[in-house]
Amino acid sequence: MNSTPDNSSTITIRPPQLIQSLVSGFNTVASHIYLIALPVLLDLLLWFGPHLRLKALMQPGVQDMLSMMRSTSPAEMSPVLDNLDQLWKLLLEQYNVLSVLSPFPIGLPAMMTSLFPMKTPLGSPSIIEIGSYGQFLLLWLGLTLVGFILGSLYFAGVAYCVTKTGEGQAAASQLDFASSSRTLPGKKNLMAFSTGSRLPPFRPAALAWETLQIILLVVLVFCVGMVLLVPTLLFTSFVALISTGIAQVILFLISFGIIWLLIPLVFAPFGIFLYGQSVIHAVLGSIRVVRFVLPGTGLFLLMVIVINQGLGMLWRTPPDSSWMTLIGIFGNAFISTGLLASCFIFYRSGLIYVQTLRKIALKSI
């Protein structure tokens, strides 16, 4: 039987607010400025530290591949192969293996991972050539694992500062985690965890749990991507036999569709670090938020990208050899961390909105 709740039990519905989330995120970082320490330190390491390079290891193989392509390609392809040769030389000259310390999707927001600086105000950095593919594989695996741990520490620190604010405690207390409350390693149960009585995010067991969930999330995204991508490539290859132009259009449309399907997973890391959820619960929570707040979510993500990329062009203006680059490093760390905190706040507000809708639906039954 339907019943109308009285005025005393009326639940206010308020979807996530874009501007409020951004302002609250930057205020959180301004109040806890130490949050930018890890991104700054990584940028300084990539700038002044030694460069682990693959040039001596990979250049002979690349040259052999290009020589084979030149011998089997028509003369019209010569300019294309020349450009490809220059691109590979530039990449092998500048690529620093240490950049894998910022892995997807929780890597530290280091500006130097995209710049690959070759000069510093103190001169050229030292170059260390990797001698074998086995050494490179071990280094890559080890540095990637360290990157996940550092990223987990960084994300957990931002989440901790978001939840321990007065506004964060009041907001988190509105969430209902009765269906998924459990005791996590090194943490209290999720109900206490979500209401602000959270333990500091630096306990080894808690950090290991979050890192494991993030790695599982990466594996899940990779598997989903491959399941969607392999049939796409096979289909477009078949269509390309008929018409190359049609195949390019189909590939573009399908790629856009795959990205659209993966967007609901964008908030999954925040559920892991904000509420200690497993990867499955975090993915389901992210899907719910995107589903119920789709227009606002799209606008918010667009705003985050515009701010990050727009100011990123400003931070990259000084040359590598100028001390002015330090301003860019600190500016990039502050803006990126502020945007990350804003994402945590927007996601938390979205969960509250979804829970409120559920309460209203239950009361109307």
pLDDT digits over 127-166, tens only? 998 988 899 999 999 999 999 999 999 999 999 999 886 4
Q: List C-alpha distances in Å: 180 to 18, 170, 277, 357.
A: 28, 20, 8, 19
Residue 41 amino acid letter = L
Q: Say which range, 236-240, 277-281, 334-338, has the weakest mean pLDDT.
A: 236-240
Cα separation, 34 vs 40, whole angstroms: 10
Q: What is the pTM of this model?
A: 0.82
State the chain's mean pLDDT as an integer. Answer: 81
The stretch 83-95 carries a mean pLDDT of 86
Are 248 and 266 within 8 A, CB to CB?
no
Name the packing angle between helices 244-262 and 204-240 (round to 10°).
160
Give Cβ neighbours of residue 67 (< 8 Å, ≥ 6 apart).
none
Q: Domain coordinates of the chain in residue numbers?
A: 7-52+100-230+265-363, 55-94
Pick the more confident residue, 172 or 140.
140
Would you say residue 64 has pLDDT above 70? yes
